[in-house]
Amino acid sequence: MRRLLTILFCLLLLSAKTIAQSAASPDAFQGLVLNETTLDDVKKALGNSDTDKTDSLDVSKIGKWLDPKHKEKVFRKLSYKSREFSKIELSFFDDKLVMIDLTFKKSYDAEKISNLFAVRFALLGGPASLPDEPGKYPVPFIATHFPPYYSLVAISEKTFLYVNCISGGGGSSPGIVERTRQISRTLQKK
């Protein structure tokens, strides 16, 4: 009986640890945490990358919130592929993870993006563009129609998130997520 209880307790601890590691976070992806994970951590967790290069960051419109350094070819970028993603690109500066760029292979419902990152997203487009002030949400509005391609933005204490989406139903529904970028706020303009 004691042995059975010990085994059940160990399974419970293992389950709790697994759930905690996979919990949604704006600052992490599958256990890789912005500003904490190193190159060695990634190589231990994911193995050898498909590509390894030094380049600038592709941050889209979030660039106006970032230090001009993001345009310099000083970031080490490792790329991986998986069943869910056509590309997982991890960018490092001073051996710390500063950007997680995910290109989705399978359809992920744009309406559920907050579940993936546990943060509130705002729609960009129409009357709402990205404000010039870093970390400020755009003016909220309710979309009555979605353009073929549109973006979402979210802000957390440590991260800017930028999401590219493809609308569905001829613009009548939010559609699917095409790409996400989690960008460390250590790169924010001072």
Show the tokens assigned to 182: 């989690």
Give the DSSP H or E segment for 119: none
What pLDDT shows up at residue 10? Answer: 32
8: pLDDT strictly greater than 60: no
What share of the chain has pLDDT > 70, as a percent? 88
> In terms of DSSP H, where are the helices of 23-102?
39-46
Long-range pairs for 54-61: beta carbons < 8 A, 24 or more residues apart? 57/91, 57/98, 57/99, 57/183, 57/187, 58/101, 58/181, 59/99, 59/162, 59/181, 59/183, 60/151, 60/162, 60/164, 60/181, 61/124, 61/130, 61/151, 61/162
Of residues 106 and 186, more confidently modeled: 186
Tell me if 190 sits within 8 A of 175, measured CB to CB: no
What confidence score (pLDDT) does residue 166 get? 92
Q: Regarding predicted confidence, which is higher, 100 or 148?
A: 100
Q: Does residue 1 surpass a pLDDT of 50?
A: no
Judge whether residue 95 has pLDDT over 60: yes
Q: What's the pLDDT score for residue 27?
A: 95
Of 18-32, 51-65, 170-184, the one with minimum mean pLDDT is 18-32
How far apart CA 114 and CA 109 sit, in angstroms, is 10
Q: What is the pLDDT of residue 12?
A: 35
Look at strands 51-55 and 32-33 and give their pairing.
unpaired
Tell me if residue 7 falls in helix, strand or coil: helix
- The residue ranges of every structural domain in the chain are 24-187
pTM of the model: 0.85
pLDDT tens figures, 112-144: 999 999 999 999 877 778 888 998 988 887 788
